[in-house]
């Protein structure tokens, strides 16, 4: 179901909700298109007219200045008109229903929604109920998916290590709550990497996680052996108060990426992180700022990838 929802009648991308259900070819097309947008950044031309006249609304039910700004910039570089809305949702304030929010915006001639929401499945729901001409991009829904982040991670990896089939990738941290982890696992497997390894304490792993197509390790030192790419996940403060972990210090002792631990991985291994970084909790500053870190590259690639995804989702919408 989700995959058919994402493709239009000609099999072209219409919504971008999750990596699941998209085949390798579509992912490569996104990466290739993003490549050409990166080239555009020689600074001489700031925008291209690809989406001129189109209206994009950033619907952020969950706060995120970084992601929202990247999407805004990406839309503007495609010459689209952008509107950003931060919608507070709390159980006490009974605001508009999700459906009503969408309908009201549709009445203002919108072409695309970029949605970030705290509940898994929100983007799918919006895609299913929005008017037929609207495209929906998932900027992160609950714990389910963050497909644009996964694509920019794949893009960053490809820039440095173009041969996916040889790569062993480790994802370290709170897999249980991470939509970044889920989408990355799907993207890596679709692109055919040699191995995806999740490294986490038992409390932070979802049930039967191997069914996602990963190997599991509970020990960072063991788990990093033979690894080409290390993706560190952010540890959120709430995990301590919900009895998942005793303290940040203890987490860092077992699962923090220090210089010594980094040496266990392959000598040319790269270090990634979706941000924002908790220095001294999941990663040591010296590693985050070190030569093997590509964290800043990830950030700068974020705009080009989002431009590519938005352009691909909007194309052929005027098909006769």
Residue ranges in contact with another protein by CB under 8 A: 1-2, 12, 20, 28-30, 32-33, 36, 39-40, 42, 44-45, 47-50, 97-99, 117, 119-122, 124-125, 129, 141-145, 179, 182, 206-209, 211-212, 311-312, 314-320
Does residue 179 carry a catalytic annotation?
A: no
Does residue 263 carry a catalytic annotation?
A: no
Nearest residue (CB) to another protein, 182 versus 234: 182
Contact call for residues 119 and 301 (beta carbons, < 8 A): no
Q: Which of 68, 116, 177, 182 is catalytic?
A: 116
Nearest residue (CB) to another protein, 263 versus 316: 316
- Which residues 6+ apart lie within 8 Å of 165 measured at CB? 192, 193, 194
- We find the least distance from the C-beta atom of residue 53 to another protein, in angstroms, to be 10
- We find the least distance from the C-beta atom of residue 275 to another protein, in angstroms, to be 20
Residue 167 tokens read as 């790569």
Does residue 44 carry a catalytic annotation?
A: no
In degrees and rounded to multiples of 5, residue 112 shows phi and psi of -150, 140
Q: Which of 94, 202, 211, 237 is catalytic?
A: 94
- We find the least distance from the C-beta atom of residue 98 to another protein, in angstroms, to be 6
Residue 227 CA: distances (Å) to CA of 70, 231, 252, 262, 289: 30, 10, 20, 10, 20
Quick one: which H or E segment has residue 135?
A: strand 135-141
Nearest residue (CB) to another protein, 114 versus 283: 114
Does residue 18 carry a catalytic annotation?
A: no
Q: Which of 124, 146, 158, 234 is catalytic?
A: 146
Nearest-angstrom CA–CA distance, 130 and 57: 13
Nearest-angstrom CA–CA distance, 136 and 274: 22
Nearest residue (CB) to another protein, 128 versus 249: 128
What's the count of helices (H) and strands (E) in the chain, helices before strands? 13, 9
Q: Which of 46, 52, 66, 166 is catalytic?
A: 66
- The residues that are catalytic are 66-67, 94, 116, 146
């Amino acid at each position: 179901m989700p995959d058919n929802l994402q493709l239009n009648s000609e099999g072209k991308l219409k919504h971008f909700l999750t990596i699941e259900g998209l085949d390798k070819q579509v992912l490569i097309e996104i990466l290739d298109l993003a490549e050409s947008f990166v080239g555009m950044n020689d600074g001489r031309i700031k925008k291209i007219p690809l989406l001129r006249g189109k209206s994009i609304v950033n619907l952020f039910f969950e706060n995120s200045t970084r992601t929202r700004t990247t999407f805004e910039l990406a839309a503007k570089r495609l010459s689209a008109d952008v509107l950003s809305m931060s919608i507070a949702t709390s159980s006490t304030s009974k605001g508009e229903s999700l459906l009503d929010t969408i309908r009201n915006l549709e009445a203002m001639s919108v072409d695309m929604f970029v949605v970030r929401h705290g509940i898994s499945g929100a983007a799918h729901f919006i895609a299913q109920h929005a008017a037929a001409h609207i495209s929906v991009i998932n900027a992160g829904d609950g714990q389910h998916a963050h497909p644009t982040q996964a694509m920019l991670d794949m893009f960053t990896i490809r820039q440095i290590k173009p041969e996916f089939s040889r790569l062993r990738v480790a994802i370290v941290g709170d897999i249980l709550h991470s939509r970044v982890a889920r989408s990355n696992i799907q993207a890596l497997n679709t692109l055919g990497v040699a191995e995806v390894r999740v490294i986490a304490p038992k409390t932070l792993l979802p049930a039967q996680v191997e069914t996602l197509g990963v190997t599991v390790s509970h020990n960072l030192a063991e788990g990093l052996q033979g690894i080409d790419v290390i993706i560190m996940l952010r540890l959120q403060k709430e995990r301590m108060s919900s009895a998942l972990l005793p303290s940040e210090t203890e987490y860092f002792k077992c699962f923090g990426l220090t210089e010594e631990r980094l040496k266990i991985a392959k000598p040319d291994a790269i270090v990634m992180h979706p941000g924002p970084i908790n220095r001294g909790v999941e990663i040591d500053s010296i590693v985050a700022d070190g030569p093997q870190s590509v964290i800043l590259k990830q950030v700068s690639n974020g705009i080009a990838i989002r431009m590519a995804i938005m352009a691909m989702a909007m194309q052929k919408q005027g098909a006769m």
